[in-house]
Amino acid sequence: MKKSLVVLALAILLMPLTAMAQTDIFEKYSNSDNVTYASIKPKMFQMLAGIDIETDSKEAQEYMKMVKSITSFKTLATDDKNVAGDIAKWVKARSGSLEELMEIKDDGVVVKFYVKEGRNENFVAELLMFVNGLDAVTKDLDVNVNGKKRGMESVLVSFTGDIDLNQLSKLINAFDLPGGKELDKKKK
């Protein structure tokens, strides 16, 4: 009986620690002064899906179709080493339930793409992109956010929905973002 009480007491004491470990990183840092946070809620994507844009451009129609398939977009960016470390730990823990799609290393910067498979191999239910080590390449840039000089160490981006990888790679390439060409190769 005594053993049962000790185990129960330990379980109660450790509950807050396990809850903190599972905390959504976006919620945790959404109000932090050391983080730039953006979140586009499902309602916004529903509104975008309701917009009827008439265009003859097949490419524009495909982009709109992809935008309509996204249900959530969240991003965190920080120059705070402690916050960046916390984000890296969260990504590592989260990556266990995702598949690493690709990794790019260049000049101290590491970019990783993770996905959660969707309805088939061409679609993903979640895309997580993590960029770490940006301070090495951005330290000389004069970036100001709300009048405050900001550097950049880490960026975390999450998309959820029914996302077509073919369209996503075209969008990444159109904006000349890193990883687009590699994403094209992965899907072939």
DSSP secondary structure string for all residues of the chain: -HHHHHHHHHHHHHHHHHHHHTS-HHHHHTT-TTEEEEEE-HHHHHHHHH-----S-HHHHHHHHHHHHEEEEEEEEE--HHHHHHHHHHHHHHGGGSEEEEEEEETTEEEEEEEEE-SSTTEEEEEEEEEE-THHHHTTS-EEETTEEE--SEEEEEEEEEEEHHHHHHHHHHTT-TTHHHHHHHH-
- Cβ burial 132-142 (10 Å sphere, 16+ → b, else e): bbbbeeeeeee
pLDDT for 179: 58
Distance CA 165, CA 167 (A): 5
pTM, two decimals, is 0.74
pLDDT for 12: 45
| pLDDT per residue as tens, the chain (188 positions) | 444 433 333 334 444 443 334 469 999 999 998 899 999 887 787 777 677 667 677 777 777 777 778 888 899 999 999 999 999 999 999 999 999 988 999 988 999 999 999 999 889 999 999 999 988 777 777 777 677 777 788 999 998 999 888 777 776 666 565 555 555 555 55
